[in-house]
A = this chain, B = another copy of it.
Amino acid sequence: MIVRSKPGFWDVAFAVNGSILPRIAPHLVAIALISVLAIFAAMEHPGIFARISAVPFTLIGIALSVFMSFRNSTCYARWWEGRELWGKLIIACRSFARQISTLEDDDRRVLLRGLCGFCSGLTARLRGEDEVAAIKPWSEIDVASVGPNPTNAVLNQIGLHCLMLMKRDRIEPIHYAVLEGQLTALSDVQGGCERIASTPVPFAYSLLLHRTALIFCVTLPFALAGSLDWWTLLPVLLVAYTFFGLDALGHQLEAPFGSEPNALPLDAMRRGIEREMLALLGERDLPAPIEPRQNVLM
């Protein structure tokens, strides 16, 4: 996630860090070259180009804006839902910790460290890293029998521990049900994150919009060159910047658990949970919060 204050005047003019500009610069250069080509062609053969009117391009451009706006709001909704799920993760960990505050210290240690292991495992799972290695420092899991879903195995261990506490009359049955409610919330978070990570916006949709935007920007200079001359560059580049920029940004937000600058700061949130859980276990020497590097918080 990019952490910057409101764009001020100079940012608007010159900000590169955090901007989508570097990503789409090659496209803009290509469109600029095509525009120059179109302008020279229009000077050579003014007759041909005079016939091309900008009116159908207005129609196509507005239609494209409407459809791109839908794609953008969809991608943003995915990104925001990812953040909501991680917010739910934080809330469930805190609530679970509060609800076991009368248990003995050994139980609390196992359970709260288990929650940290779950968060680490989930982060690794969503980023395609080694889940078992991420869980190991926090929770003992049997590598041999862990099955296809190590992160869920941690949750199963926590659930089993709670069931055993009920069986041994250390907690009331209703207390078990309350705790299990938080574990179900954690399952919801894992399932929801996996859903977002494994199900992109339909490929055909992205392709259709990407294609239409590209053809539109490539042909627009030919429609304007006849009447606008060198002024053609200004609207063409502004349109290309907006359309390509939104397309690239939508693509980044679509996968909110990735490693792009605009992805969600999973590491920072995970560390925040670890700090709170360890503090509740009485530790004073907490790991430091994760700070943004070059305005990017991971």
Question: A148-B276, A212-B242, A242-B63 known; A234 and B249 CB under 8 Å?
Answer: no
A55 to chain B, nearest CB (A): 5
A156 within 8 A of partner (CB): yes
Which A positions have Cβ atoms within 8 angstroms of B? 1-4, 6-7, 11-12, 15, 18-20, 51-67, 69-70, 72-74, 76, 79, 83-84, 87-88, 90-91, 94-95, 97-99, 101-102, 145, 147-149, 152, 155-156, 159-160, 163-164, 166-167, 172-178, 180-181, 183-184, 187-188, 190-192, 194-195, 199, 202-208, 210-212, 214-216, 219, 224, 227-229, 231, 234-235, 238-239, 241-243, 245-246, 249, 251-253, 261-262, 264, 272, 275-276, 279-280, 282, 286, 289
Cβ contacts under 8 Å, A18 to chain B: 203-204, 207
Contact A242 B208, beta carbon cutoff 8 Å: yes
Contact B204 A60, beta carbon cutoff 8 Å: no
A81 to chain B, nearest CB (A): 10
Report the Cα distance A184→B251, complex, angstroms: 35
